[in-house]
Structure 1
Amino acid sequence: MAASEPDAIIAALTPVIDGLAATLGSFCEVVIHDFRRPENSVVAIAGTVTGRTVGGSMSEIGMGLLARGDEATDELNYITRTQDGKLVKSSTMVLRDSAGTAFGALCLNLDITVANQAYALIGELAGTSGPATVPTTTFGDDIGSVVDAIVDAHQLRQHRRWSELSRRERLELFRSLDDRGVFAVRGAAQQIAERLGISRASAYNYLAKARTPTDAPDADGSVPVGPHQEGVQA
């Protein structure tokens, strides 16, 4: 059976990433992601900046591209921090077939930790301010850890537990998670429900409401959950 066009493109790029990583050195990692399998999107990798392996998952940034589908655009020269403290400069280029359909991404990650430390030292000696705070990004082989990190980060921004959020804030949370591609991951709704301490039926209900453009509050301001009542998971 002939390979599909996306498979052929991935196969052609695989030796290229080895060459890029070898040329740029030990501080470089190059990754090919296949959006058709978001839970295990890493199909080829050269270098070890983020510690991922083939079969690993995409980061929050990759999930955001996945959520935008064919409207996704390249993300170039952005800086994040890994959970173990590495400062990483990255570029993510969307892969498309001849019809323009986005099916994956080629990512280049450079560990600039040492360079940034040298920059900070020079800045301190020169009496200038240090670099701005950099957001932490979850890189891992387990997509569940990425989903958890996105949910937890949103909760931290709210500074309140789920039970303390208003109906509008709860819908905004689910709308934000949906915009970031979380629900493209198999089993994400169940995982999010457990993280928030609600039933899976309630999670699906909030998601449906968040996706409704003309959402209006019920008379009592609550979210209808049908035959299933919201509650803490056993």
Structure 2
Amino acid sequence: MSSEADLIIAALRPVAEGLAATLGRSCEVVVHDFRQPEGSVAVIAGDLTGRTVGGAMSQIGMDLLRQGDTAPDRLNYVTRTPSGRMLKSSTVVLRTSDGTAFGAFCVNLDITALRQVHELVGDLVGVGDLAAAAAGAAVPTTTFSNDVDDVVDAAVDGLQLAQGKQWADLDRAERMALFARLDATGVFAVRRAVPRVAARLGISRASAYTYLSDVRKEAGQTGPAERTSPAGQTSPEEGGSA
């Protein structure tokens, strides 16, 4: 699988560069290698998210990694960067000839200026209320970074913000629910995630492993001491249970 996946990634490099050159500076094309989940960016052309080769995947990439070979393509979705840029994106899962998912081909377009023009035109033709409603529609903020720890931190902070409480104010059921939602995002598919989540929440690594283990036992899943790689192999979670 490795040699076939490597050949596909190599073949997509000129495609990524050509597509980014054609669409200009409002476009970024990224090829991810899920076999390197902590630094999955294998090819990048254009610069909208500030990442370089070896950079981290976003929360969307983590979710695809979690789903493994069943991961679907994600087409024509909109996200917002922490700096406020609006991105329209499509992510196509890369597979070997036997159907094994090993990466993703992503196209990001900066539509911030187009969105502003749309709102201006709406005002000029007298449909300002509709434009305002569209502008106020909920668009998820996605963290793009070269450091996977930044992505993990953002996922934890986002869920705590959604709950409206900090960890110390949560009862056990709410804490279990928080870990279940984190697990569902795919955060724990990357190494070092459990210790990082523990540090972000201000709890011990042992407590974090215990909560994740309990959540997965309730769901009938594998415990936090193991994770499944895109190749279907099981490897130990870095950091142990200390």
- Give TM-score scaled by structure 2 length: 0.85
Cα distance in 1 for residues equivalent to 2:82 and 2:202: 25
Within 5 Å, which residues of 2 pair with 1:44-59?
Answer: 44-59=43-58
* 1:3 CA displacement: 6.2
Note if 1:156 corresponds to 2:155.
Answer: no
Q: Distance in 2 between matches of 1:191 and 1:3?
A: 29
Is 1:198 aligned to residue 197 of structure 2? no
Q: Which runs of 5+ in 2 are unaligned?
A: 221-242
User: 1:194 is matched by which residue type in structure 2?
Assistant: A
**Which residue is equivalent to 1:221?**
none
Q: Work out the CA distance in 1 between the residues paired with 2:170 and 2:123.
A: 42
Once the two structures are overlaid, the 10-residue window that deviates more, 120-129 or 197-206, is 120-129
Report the alpha carbon displacement of residue 213 of structure 1 after superposing the two structures with TM: 2.8
Paired position in structure 1 for 2:10? 11
Inter-partner Cα distance in structure 1 for 2:124 and 2:160? 38
Q: What is the identity percentage for the equivalent residue pairs of Structure 1 and Structure 2?
A: 60
CA shift digits 1:113-170 (9 cap, x unpaired)? 1111100111122232222232211011111110000000000011011122121211
Q: Which residue of 1 aligns with 2:25?
A: 26
RMSD over equivalenced CA pairs, Å: 1.4
Q: Which moved more, 1:186-195 or 1:104-113?
A: 186-195
Quick one: structure 1 residues 214 and 186, their matched pair in 2 at CA, closer, same or farther if it must change by over 3 Å? closer
Deviates more, 1:8-17 or 1:177-186: 177-186
What pairs up with 1:155-234 in 2 under 5 angstroms?
155-213=160-218
Shift of 1:214: 6.4
Rounded to whole Å, the distance in 2 between the matches of 1:133 and 1:168 is 27
1:68 matched to 2:73: no
Q: Quote the Cα distance in structure 2 between the aligned partners of 1:171 and 1:133.
A: 26
User: Counterpart of 1:213 in 2: which secondary structure?
Assistant: helix
1:141 aligns with 2:146: yes
**Count of aligned residue pairs for this structure pair:** 214
TM-score scaled by length of structure 1:
0.88
Larger helix proportion of the pair: 2
CA offset digits 1:28-67 (Å, max 9, x no partner): 1100000111110000000011111111000111111111
